Amino acid sequence: MILVTGGTGFLGSELIKQLTDKGFAVRALRREKSVIPALIKDNPLIEWFTADINEPSALEDAFVSITKVYHCAAFVSFNPKDKKKLFHVNIEGTSNIVNLCTEHHCRLLHVSSVAALGEPKRGKQITEKDFWEYDAKAHAYGLSKYEAEMEVWRGITEGLQAIIVNPSVIIGKNAGFEGSGAIFKLVKGGFPFFTNGATGLVDVEDVAHAMILLMETDVVAERYIISSENYHYKDLFDTIAQGFNVKAPTKEAKPWMLGIAWRSLALVSAITGKEPSITKDAAKSSLVLSYYDNSKIIKETGIKFKVLADSIKEITQHLKDA
């Protein structure tokens, strides 16, 4: 039987849909207050198991009769104040999953992030051979994903059969305006600025599909970048604006402007208690030119990625009335 952690999440729910569409029975982890997405609600092939990945004693029963585990559960935040929670969920939680997979002889596919890969080098794409040079001053989310990968590699040295995937920015209509969907919300609302950075993007359907293809191979102790295309933020914002039939951002946000923005929003957050829309880490990331090489996953699985312009059009059509 297959176990999926983070079953109610954006990626986890898409993965479960694709697995059950293939006829696989899935045991899915959810937290007590998590809402099951409409995408997979009332699916008879899903056995829901309420547990927290940070509670090993409660997790133990979830591993009964399990042979394969997709570890999708994670906490995502670029707010420095969330460092403790990021480390607790992403590192300690992953350590618990690794230990139980090793104990129960399960094959593990761990969802990491391109945030755990090496820093971009001028004129070169980032590949799976790039490893992060540890920097304690780096943003907490990237640190947490890097350390979580180290837990998986630790398990591999102990005999665990595991694969790591590093998705780039995952987009899809079911994200709504949360997570990566916040970019679509900004553009739809008439945000006038763009940054001179670039990143990789990939449709959530492709990420789930690639994960299933990898799990069905005999590959172990490998990591794979899952990314469709590299996009400059200006081009991305232009494409999203076209989908919404709104004016595209025309003003470049300079580093000093972003510096003022995140500091001002941090002050407002301290006063109001509301989450800032731009943090120091997010501002810094938006200025970096990060290009990712997807040749390894294509060679291994033969996957053909969706054209991102088509994905963006699908998302904007879905969100137009939202």
pLDDT confidence of residue 262: 42
Two tokens, residue 275: 């989450």
Beta carbons within 10 angstroms of residue 306's beta carbon: 16
- CATH code (residue 163): 3.40.50.720
Mean pLDDT by 10-residue block, N- to C-terminus, for the chain (322 residues)?
A: 96 98 96 90 95 90 96 87 90 96 97 87 83 71 91 96 96 90 88 85 97 96 97 93 92 65 53 62 70 96 96 93 71
* 220 located within any domain: yes
Is residue 249 situated within a structural domain? no
Quote the pLDDT of residue 278: 63
Residue by residue, DSSP assigns 157-182 as HTT--EEEEEE-EEE-GGGTTSTTHH
Predicted local distance difference test score (pLDDT) of residue 121: 73
The angle at the Cα of 268, spanning 267 to 272, to the nearest 5 degrees, equals 125
C-beta separation of 53 from 7 below 8 A: no
Element (H, E) at 5: strand 2-5
Partners of 5 in beta bridges: 71
**The total number of structural domains that make up the chain:** 1
Please list, in sequence order, all residues whose beta carbon lies within 8 angstroms of the beta carbon of residue 229, skipping any fewer than 6 positions away: 200, 201, 305, 308
Rounded Cα distance, 237 and 81, in Å: 28
Q: Are 108 and 51 in contact (CB under 8 A)?
A: no
Does any domain span residue 321?
Answer: no
Residue 244 included in any domain: no
Q: Domain range holding 76?
A: 2-173+201-228+291-307
**Side by side, which strands form the sheet with 2-5?**
46-50, 26-30, 2-5, 68-71, 107-111, 162-167, 222-226
Residue 320 within a domain: no
Output the DSSP codes for 205-244.
HHHHHHHHHHHTS---SEEEEE-SEEEEHHHHHHHHHHHH
Domain assignment of residue 31, yes or no = yes
77 close to 85: Cβ distance less than 8 angstroms: yes
Query: Is residue 178 in a domain?
Result: no
pLDDT at res. 108:
98
Which pLDDT value is given to residue 165?
A: 98
User: Would 25 be classed as within a structural domain?
Assistant: yes
pTM: 0.91
